[in-house]
Structure 1
Amino acid sequence: MSVTTFAVAGATGRLGRHVVEVLTERGHRVVPMSRATGVDVITGEGLAGALAGVEVVIDVASWHASDEDAATEFFRTSAGNLQEEGRKAGVARIVLASIIGVDKATAGFLAAKRVHEECLLSGPVPVRILRAAQFHEFVGQLLDWQPGEVAYVPALPSQLVACRVVAEELVDLATAPASAGAPIPEVAGPRREILAEAARLLGARRGVKVVGVDGSAMPDAELAAGGAFLPGPHARLAGPSFREWLEAQS
């Protein structure tokens, strides 16, 4: 196996730590990039030094909230900096973790991720994109956002997937031969699930009552209810269901 030097943007985040782990397990050299390691993809601090000698960047850096404007500005800036410094460093390609359905989104965080894709693709360094379903780990975040004994979670369809599975797929994509004209690959969990029902399983462990709501206050709720953000027929389905994943955590 040939050894490649990877830089991981967002290396200490929910997905990034799994990407670093998978790359390390497969024997690659890894440069973790996050503010915790002295690299800031927004200000550019430490970025040029981190990318020196790097062949491939895996971009899993993300904005911490759902506000569309703030997220869009974050992604536009980070994409510009990664492309510019990547070009100067001679990076061969950038691999981006995105979200299934961003091409259909009209508002909210998913619309910001669409801008992220567009900004990266407009730069000089070649880009590969993997679109993933919502993570199993996202369910806990929904509960964390609503401290108390009751949480309201949209009863919308999803095909939740484990971060570890997404990380493995990202590394596979990053190391695969170029495939011109192929559709953007997708990865999702093994079966369709209702977000509120998954949240009830976790809520029962935390002592939180989860109430399913229609999600009409969410951006593109009608699209989500109609399955617009579910994986397409070419998606790779892998990993545990949410219940299986949750049981494995304990």
Structure 2
Amino acid sequence: MRIAVAGGTGAAGRHVVEQVRARGHTPVVLARSAGIDLTRPTPELDRALTDVDAVIDAANVTTMSARASEEFFGAVTSTLLAAGERTGIRHHVALSIVGCDRVDYGYYAGKRLQEKLVRESTLPWTILRATQFHEFTGQALAMTPGPVAMVPTMRSQPVSTAEVAAHIVDLAVGTPLTSVVEYAGPRPEYQPDLARRLLRARGSKRLVLPLRLPGAGGRGMANGGLLPGPDAAHGDETFDQWLARVGASTR
């Protein structure tokens, strides 16, 4: 099969491309670095999707703004779906986030819009909601440089990016489910604890200060709104196993 990966050079997308190749399929990378602007219709995108069987949308934007998130995911999703309809894509698979429908956080507004557009499209579809990747902890620490790291009081179930990538490729080559499914790590964790473990692995003496984010979004994160439901599939790699594997390279 030929499988197009939107955002195929990003943090998640590059793992998806690797898994497509590992399973003997042909990846088609859709990214600005590959000459394709996913935010608007272009002849280059239509040419790239010619003879493609499935699209995996792993495109992402770094923002905490609801408006910026909606603008990005709205534009990219609409562009991909319209191009998929023109070129005869047989399966559109979107990567989303567990709990984005329950936690009122700015970035998640864009993921909710993405899901809505996919569900309302004419293309056969599947949405995979994943929990936070193991790498999320390092990203959270980087947001507050200095001797004290302020880390959200978040309960989550961190998961291997590579395992999510493998699962989403399995979904893409299968029959469209026309439903939302979840994929999570093996066990729940508390984000400040993960931050402390990561800092120890780095040999850092930074202090971790748990920070309750304001509003409904903060309450949702603290109270388990980002944890998977009982029907979720689960990866095997724990955060500590990931940390032992990657070590200090997580900076």
- TM-score using structure 2 length: 0.92
Aligned pair partner of 1:134 in 132, 135, 140 = 132
Deviation of 1:245 after TM superposition, in Å, equals: 0.3
Q: Which residue of 2 aligns with 1:238?
A: 235
2:229 is aligned with 1:221 = no
> Per the alignment, in what secondary structure is the counterpart of residue 180 of structure 2?
coil
Deviation of 1:219 after TM superposition, in Å, equals: 5.7
Q: For the residues of structure 2 that align with 1:142 and 1:105, how far apart are their CA atoms?
A: 18
Q: Which residue of 2 aligns with 1:152?
A: 150
2:184 is aligned with 1:188 = yes
Deviation of 1:89 after TM superposition, in Å, equals: 0.8
Deviation of 1:218 after TM superposition, in Å, equals: 6.7
Q: Which residue of 1 aligns with 2:245?
A: 248
Alignment of 1:18-33 (within 5 A): 18-33=15-30
Q: Percent identity?
A: 38
Alignment of 1:1-250 (within 5 A): 4-45=1-42, 46-179=44-177, 184-204=180-200, 205=202, 207=204, 209-217=206-214, 220-250=217-247
Letter in 1 for 2:233: R
Farther off after superposition, 12-21 or 225-234: 225-234
Q: For the residues of structure 2 that align with 1:47 and 1:6, how far apart are their CA atoms?
A: 14
Q: For the residues of structure 1 that align with 2:215 and 2:149, how far apart are their CA atoms?
A: 15
> Per the alignment, in what secondary structure is the counterpart of residue 152 of structure 1?
strand
Distance 1:214 1:142, change over 3 A: closer
Q: Which runs of 5+ in 1 are unaligned?
A: none
Aligned length: 245
Q: For the residues of structure 1 that align with 2:121 and 2:225, how far apart are their CA atoms?
A: 28
- The Cα RMSD (Å) is 1.6
Q: For the residues of structure 2 that align with 1:219 and 1:42, how far apart are their CA atoms?
A: 30
Deviation of 1:179 after TM superposition, in Å, equals: 4.2
> Per the alignment, in what secondary structure is the counterpart of residue 249 of structure 1?
helix
- Paired residues of 1:159 and 1:188 also in contact (CA < 8 A): yes
- TM-score using structure 1 length: 0.92
Runs of 4+ that moved beyond 4 A: none
> Per the alignment, in what secondary structure is the counterpart of residue 124 of structure 1?
coil
Letter in 2 for 1:197: D
Deviations 1:57-83 (A, max 9, x none): 000001122211101110111111001
Distance 1:82 1:178, change over 3 A: closer
Farther off after superposition, 206-215 or 223-232: 206-215
Q: Which runs of 5+ in 2 are unaligned?
A: none
Deviations 1:110-146 (A, max 9, x none): 1221111001222221221001001101111112222
